[in-house]
Amino acid sequence: MGKIICLMGKSAVGKDSVFKRLLEDRSLGLRTIVPYTTRPIRDGEHNGVEYYFTDEVGYEKYKGQGRIIEERLYHTVLGPWRYFTVDDGRIEAQADYIVIGTLEAYLRLRDYFGRGKVLPILLEVDDGIRLQRALDRERVQEHPKYEELCRRFLADSEDFARDNIAAAGIERHFVNEDLEQCLEEIKDYIRGQSNGD
């Protein structure tokens, strides 16, 4: 099997931007494993691109079939939202993939596919910059969800605590204040890992 790059970080560190740019770089040859979610679709998202949007019935079906690789449940101000990765027959053994996940998702993917098969990429940004980015993104939504933004911001501090990152064995971090520089560092890192460095 090829590598699975697991892109992680707190909300509004630029995961989506980095993800799209890495995916566009044909020299990396990356594909996506599209995750599933029960959260509502956001403006500009498309089913089967960012996520497969489903409901609790869809989630329970995959759970009952034993096809869920990893999952997270968030108790949001709008109700429970699930995010999960399904072994749905779309993952080819020799291909290289990129996914966006959490620390917990990284650990579950690593356990499922094997330690040497999943490469963690942890993005970081100053909290003030993150908060401004999150506010800017929410303002353009048809129905801004500021309470949920605040809940996520605070929850990320716990989820990505330094102790949790260290316990996951993640030593390399990438600061995403300059997107182009960050992308070059990540690409060099991915290529180095592919060559066994």
18-28: per-residue pLDDT in tens?
999 999 999 99
Confidence of residue 77 (pLDDT cuts 50, 70, 90): confident
- Does 101 have pLDDT greater than 90? no
Alpha-carbon gap, residue 149 to 77, rounded angstroms: 10
Predicted TM-score (pTM) of this structure: 0.82
- Helix segments in 73-178, DSSP class H: 103-113, 127-139, 146-159, 162-167
In this prediction, residues 59-84 reach a mean pLDDT of 93
In this prediction, residues 126-145 reach a mean pLDDT of 92
Query: How much is the pLDDT for 197?
Result: 54
136-183: per-residue pLDDT in tens?
999 998 899 999 899 889 999 999 999 999 999 999 999 999 999 999
Query: How much is the pLDDT for 148?
Result: 87
User: Which residues have a Cβ under 8 Å from the Cβ of 22 and sit 6 or more positions away?
Assistant: 5, 7, 28, 30, 98, 183, 186, 187, 190
